[in-house]
Amino acid sequence: YVVMAQPELVQSTGSVIASLFKLTGWIFAEEGRKAKPFDNSCKALGVVFDVSQSPNRKFFVKNTAERVDELKTDILDILAAGFISGAKARSLQGRMLFADAQIFGRVGRRCTRVFAKCAATQKHVFGEDDIFFLKTFVHMLDTGLPREISCFPASSGTLIFTDACYEKDADFWRSGVGGVLYDVELDAWRFFSLEVSSKQLVLLGEETKDQLIFKVETLAAVIAYILWTPLLKSQFCIMYVDNEGTKFSLVKGFSENPCVCKLVQRFALHESETHIMSWISRVPSHSNISDGPSRNDLKLLMSLNAKDDSSKALAILDELVNSCGIGGDGC
């Protein structure tokens, strides 16, 4: 840490490292453009490795300024033209994917999909959505947080479990969403248990769809993530969901289902803004502690002295359904 803080020690440490390389037979550039001085960051293959925060058990990987400027210029040029060829789309998509790998979060994954549909065409004219996502990616290149590699102690972190139910012909509690949070370090539990109202089910497309479980499972996960953000910031979080479609949509930041797509875009944007380190996986119902609260069964959570956050979760449920414009295939 002292070496990183004092420039004169950085220089002397560089001399020591160079001497060690020579003694052990390493061949390295000692002059010319590749002979970079010893420092707390280095460039390689278009990215910067920043280890200045290594005493805090983390380092960062980010795009070089040159790579960012080149990619921004090319994207803005094709936006000005209003169209792109298939060959150009394939090339630009590859460069965007590489750059996106050095930016924290999942928002960029949806942006890079713009060129997936262009690759097989001779000429693709950009639509309104295409322009929006390409401009979003340009903004991310300027403002997106770098990729962070952290070392968390085994005792830290937070677990979130979410679940939902939907039984169209049930007399009571036709649909519900539930979530449970467990803080490993504090050994503390929290939960929410909400019924999805008939009005909200209509907005979700009940009148045109036989099954809504994919949508309400995803809704439960996004509610939990937003609800417990203050407890998750800059931590490692594992989220267990009970639906394969929900899991893959959250991981990819995209879904072919329009309603779910809007929800996972909200999730991805929230993740990048709050800098939450998350891993998403599937848990079967018999191992899912949130199965009970999704069906208004709170006995187990009460026995664990879990804190009830349902009132706050209800406000988020209402806001998500209304502001995301969820309403069947037309959302």
- The token duo for 129 is 């959505």
pLDDT at 217: 96
Cα 162 from Cα 51, distance rounded (Å): 36
**Burial classification of residue 214, based on how many CB atoms lie within 10 Å of its CB (0-12 exposed, 13-18 middle, 19 or more buried):** buried
pLDDT at 331: 40
More confident residue, 13 or 101: 101
More confident residue, 148 or 296: 296
pLDDT digits over 157-184, tens only? 789 999 999 998 888 999 999 999 998 8
Three-state SS at 84: strand
At residue 329 the predicted structure's pLDDT band, cuts being 50, 70 and 90, is very low
**What are the CA-CA distances from residue 12 to residues 5, 6, 285, 288 (Å)?**
13, 10, 59, 56
Is there a contact between 229 and 239 (Cβ–Cβ < 8 Å)? no
**What's the chain's average pLDDT?**
86
